[in-house]
Amino acid sequence: MTSSSAAVLLRGVASGVVANRSGSPVVSDVNGELKVVLTDPDVLDCPICLDPLSTPVFQCENGHIACSLCCSKVKRKCPSCCMPIGYNRCRAIEKVIESVKVSCKNAQYGCKTTMTYSQKTEHEQICPFVTCYCPHPSCPFGGTSRNMYIHFGIQHAVSTTRFTYDTTFFVHVATQQKHIFFQEQHESVIFILNHEVKEHGRALSVDCVGPSTLKSCFEYQITARQLKSVLTLQCVPDVYTRWSEHPLKRNYLTVPSDFFCCSGTLPLHLCIKKTVLPE
């Protein structure tokens, strides 16, 4: 969490009037919820690993707290006072962290999910409203995946190839061409064909740009032919919210140099399939 104020809801922690850290009273709503501004969200993080606290939470005899994993890591010796820790549950803080409800950081982009504080990090890693960035070199645009796809289709249309799912299409890769952009006709999802020179030929793979909910939603097949020789890779694309050129380390097709035409281009057949619907 950042040090900026976080709006949270405390359910059933108290009734009537409470005060925040600045001393200002906060009055409960008619439905019994207390709207509280937590000016120091770090108090809900484990002071050792700095991750959000989740039950069980333990305390030493001096009241210092730690998550269960950290109690094991410090061999049940409190790093603040050296007293034993990991035996006595801190029920009060457990009740608080189970009651606190927070909004996703992508609420401004349309996410309406609320969750316990301990679930915030996990949710935001798979949130479909996460900020995605334009993969075109030197373009700083960022927004929801939908807005980014619209932006890319308008601003970078001349540098992309349009295709449809489950349809094999032909691609020519130039010798010095490091990547080629593709955008699906109907959903506008962006894919990138990576091309890298390796010791024994050329390496090729496909990436996808979008939220992590797209993982395992697609698969692709690259086919290279030379006379009677056929090389094929069927794989799942890696998904990036912020894509940039990167060395290919795994899951790529290696094509020998003699597969290239005399013009210096490599002819490929590419098919991108949609396997499941994103959540």
CATH of region 132-274 = 2.60.210.10
Tokens of 274: 């949609």
Could you tell me the sign of the dihedral formed by the alpha carbons of 7, 11, 14, 17, in that order? positive
Residue 241's SS3 state is coil
CATH of region 6-126 = 3.30.40
Place of tokens 């799942």: 236
Residue 206's SS3 state is strand
Model pLDDT for residues 96-123, shown as the tens digit of each residue:
888 888 888 888 778 888 888 888 878 8
Location of each CATH 2.60.210.10 domain in the chain: 132-274
Coarse DSSP helix, strand, coil percentages of the chain, rounded to the nearest 5 percent = 20, 40, 45
Model pLDDT for residues 201-259, shown as the tens digit of each residue:
889 999 999 998 888 899 999 999 887 889 999 999 999 999 999 999 888 999 987 88
- Please tell me the pTM assigned to this model: 0.67
Place of tokens 């609420």: 107
Q: What is the pLDDT of residue 32?
A: 60
Beta bridge partners of 254: 203
Location of each CATH 3.30.40 domain in the chain: 6-126
